[in-house]
Copies of this chain bind each other. A is one copy, B any other.
Amino acid sequence: MYQQRIVIDGLQYCNWNREYFQTLKASGITAVHATAVYHETARETLSRFAEWNVRFEQNADIIMPIHSMADVEIAKTTGKVGIFLGAQNCSPIDDEIGLIEVMRQQGLLIMQLTYNNQSLLATGCYEEHDAGITRFGKQAIEEMNRVGMIIDMSHSAERSTLEAIDLSSRPICISHANPTFAHDARRNKSNDVIKALTARGGLIGFSLYPFHLPNGSQCTLEDFCQMVATTADMVGIEHLGVGSDLCLNQPQTVLEWMRNGRWSKAMDYGEGSANNSGWPDALPWFSGSSGMENIYNGLMCQGFSESEAGQVLGENWFNFLKDGLAPQRKS
């Protein structure tokens, strides 16, 4: 039964308000990884945390903050939607190694080393040259490992991603991206990356963002589930999850902030183009969080057992996060 499952969406960036939280609750989802920042500095990140604290306070009847997987179990039991926060860039730590632990203490559970561009830590997927993990990046990986902050390479370039997998003493994730075998885009991941990631215990969350999918907004549920099945055949079901990249009810200005931050004077269109600069049309079978149940059923149509579909819909994320968020054991 879908309703009894722990369902986790490995990435969303919706316009967070009570109405949307009610939609989430009604969808039966247990927990959501919500992006807190894209380009915000350490100081600006504190304001984002403050805004989330107000949301948690004002909507305490339907949502709750997640600091560990024990909180996810409480969310499931109490029928609330758990929210855990992450950053799609390393901007929250400025240039200071010690801010990794500070941000982790504040509740930043996951951090990407890059967002499309070169960062102080690694190279993003849209750069022409990928020089791999930087000097600061190597220390940041070690510190993230130590404090139990999950490394996410969704928006990173290939060499940087392979090096991060190798340098990290703990499994890392690609929270939201698809295999290039299904759709060849710079934001998607090669079989080499997916194999290396999963061989080290890592997790990939399949994205529902149309730019990451074969045939974009026309991608069918069957095509999506076929992509999951092929990946499962390649690396095993236990390394697979969903990171929908759902961005509901956001204005164009938010899309432009994601793509341009403060780094570009010219308009950068990211995965779009001058003629296609807006949000992509939603998938009819994933127009909101209730789409998770469609995927659950779709996977079973592809031959997944109910238990296997449940793993992909949340259980694998749960197990990955439970291990990864614990502080590193002293050797």
A positions within 8 Å CB-CB of B: 42-43, 46-47, 49-51, 53-54, 96-99, 101-102, 105-107
Contacts and interface: CB of A to CB of B under 8 A. Distances in A.
Given A43-B42, A46-B42, A54 B106 contact: no
Nearest to A100: B50
Given A47-B96, A53-B101, 10 more contacts: A46-B46, A49-B102, A49-B105, A50-B98, A50-B102, A51-B98, A53-B98, A54-B98, A105-B105, A105-B107
Contacts of A42: 43, 46
A21 to B, nearest CB: 19
Of the candidates A43, A46, A53, the one having the most CB atoms from chain B within 10 angstroms of its own CB is: A46
Contacts of A43: 42-43
A96 B42 CA distance: 15
A280 to B, nearest CB: 33
A239 to B, nearest CB: 32
A49 B42 CA distance: 13
A328 to B, nearest CB: 12
A106 B50 CA distance: 12
Nearest to A46: B102
Nearest to A146: B57
Contacts of A47: 96, 98-99
